[in-house]
């Protein structure tokens, strides 16, 4: 499993900026995630930027040196950018939409995943050593909650600190009860996910299920600590990382656990021997092969 963060993206762009043509008139970003890459590159080159759909609708590129100020060095070159290339569908669709425009379009992606690159001119990093050798997969920080439905159905999620903000002290029962009924959302997946594994007491199952429904979170199963009191859970001797790590280890269908606490993430990984992503530190714990 290979995890690409926003920080990795910025570093990869900066380290490979020599591959990017510097004499383009403006940049078109393919919405949505392609706009992230396009925006960073447009800042480095100080050239105008526009989204693909906005450009099709007639919107002018903005930012950087305005087009009206660069007529003397007009090149007719336009950089079209997306974040990744796999099947080539996004680039193919972009090319079709740009047919008929009188520009020399240059197609660039930050990360090459697919087996071929016939639809692009430039890529900054080749990740095919991961994507072409199962069971390796590549995940990106900016869309891990919105894409990969094939994979996310096999992800386990922590509840507090991942899907919602950590609640107040459980010992203050009234404050705790009031909070989890209207918990503040954090990272809400837009695709189907696997199991939610939480150290919350099972007596809060109805409240938790109702909150998940209100947020539109589609999940396979909610697993909670089977107990009715904090005292009962304390004397059980079962720590949150042991509970989560053991369940994760014994579930052959789960390939990634997303945890909020770094200490727990490290221990869940040690117990299970499987990849764990700590969403608060953006660190992926996994065995190196």
Write down the domain spans for the chain: 2-142, 150-285
Contacts of 82 (CB under 8 A, 6+ apart): 29, 30, 33, 34, 37, 90, 91, 94, 108, 109, 110
Edge-to-edge strands, sheet with 276-278 = 219-225, 193-201, 155-157, 256-259, 276-278, 283-285
Q: At 226, list the tokens.
A: 């089977």
- 104-130 pLDDT, tens digit per residue, is 999 999 999 876 667 889 999 999 887
**Residue-wise pLDDT tens for the chain (289 aa)?**
889 999 999 999 999 999 999 999 999 999 988 999 999 999 999 999 999 999 999 988 887 554 444 444 688 999 999 999 887 788 889 999 999 899 999 999 999 987 666 788 999 999 988 776 666 788 999 988 887 778 899 999 999 999 999 998 888 788 999 999 999 999 999 999 999 999 999 999 999 999 999 999 999 999 999 988 999 999 999 999 999 999 999 999 999 999 999 999 999 999 999 999 999 999 999 987 6
Alpha-carbon Rg for the chain, nearest whole angstrom, is 23
Count of CB atoms situated within 10 Å of the CB of 169: 9
Q: What kind of architecture, by CATH, is found in domain 2-142?
A: 3-Layer(aba) Sandwich (3.40)
> What share of residues in the chain are helix, strand, coil (percent, to 5)?
35, 25, 40
Yes or no: say if 26 and 50 are a contact pair by the CB < 8 Å rule.
Answer: yes
Q: What angle do CA 166, 146, 30 make, to 5 degrees?
A: 135
Give the start-end residues of each E strand in 141-288: 155-157, 193-201, 219-225, 256-259, 276-278, 283-285
Yes or no: say if 284 and 277 are a contact pair by the CB < 8 Å rule.
Answer: yes
Cα 51 to chain centroid distance, Å, stands at: 20
d(CA 93, CA 52) in angstroms, rounded, equals: 11
Dihedral over Cα of 143, 2, 224, 167: its sign: negative
- Tell me yes or no: is domain 150-285 CATH 1.10.1060: no
DSSP secondary-structure letter at 1? -
Dihedral over Cα of 182, 254, 267, 199: its sign: positive
d(CA 223, CA 221) in angstroms, rounded, equals: 6
Which pTM was predicted? 0.87
Cα 193 to chain centroid distance, Å, stands at: 14
Q: 2-142 with 150-285: one CATH topology?
A: yes
For the CA atoms of 203, 208, 209, 214, the dihedral, rounded to the nearest 10 degrees, stands at 150
């Amino acid at each position: 499993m290979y995890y690409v963060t926003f920080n990795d993206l910025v570093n990869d762009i900066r380290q490979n900026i020599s591959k990017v043509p510097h004499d383009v008139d403006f940049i078109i970003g393919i919405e949505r995630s392609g706009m992230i890459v396009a925006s960073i590159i447009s800042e480095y080159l100080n050239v105008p930027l526009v989204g693909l759909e906005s450009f099709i609708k007639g919107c002018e590129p903005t930012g950087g040196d305005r087009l009206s100020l660069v007529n003397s060095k007009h090149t007719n070159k336009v950089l079209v950018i997306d974040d990744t290339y796999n099947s080539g569908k996004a680039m193919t669709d972009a090319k079709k939409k740009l047919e008929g425009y009188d520009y020399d379009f240059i197609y660039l992606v930050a990360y090459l995943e697919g087996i071929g690159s016939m639809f692009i001119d430039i890529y900054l990093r080749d990740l095919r050593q991961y994507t072409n050798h199962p069971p390796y997969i590549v995940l990106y920080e900016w869309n891990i909650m919105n894409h990969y439905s094939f994979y996310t159905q096999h992800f386990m999620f922590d509840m507090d600190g991942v899907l919602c903000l950590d609640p107040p002290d459980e010992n203050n029962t009234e404050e705790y009860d009031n909070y989890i009924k209207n918990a503040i959302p954090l990272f809400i997946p837009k695709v189907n996910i696997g199991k939610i594994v939480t150290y919350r007491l099972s007596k809060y199952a109805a409240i938790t299920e109702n909150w998940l429904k209100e947020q539109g979170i589609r999940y396979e199963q909610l697993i909670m600590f089977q107990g009715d009191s904090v005292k009962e859970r304390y004397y059980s001797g079962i720590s949150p990382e042991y509970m989560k790590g053991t369940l994760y280890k014994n579930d052959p269908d789960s390939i990634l656990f997303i945890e909020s606490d770094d200490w727990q993430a490290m221990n869940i990984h040690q117990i299970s021997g499987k990849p764990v992503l700590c969403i608060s530190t953006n660190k992926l714990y996994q065995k190196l092969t």
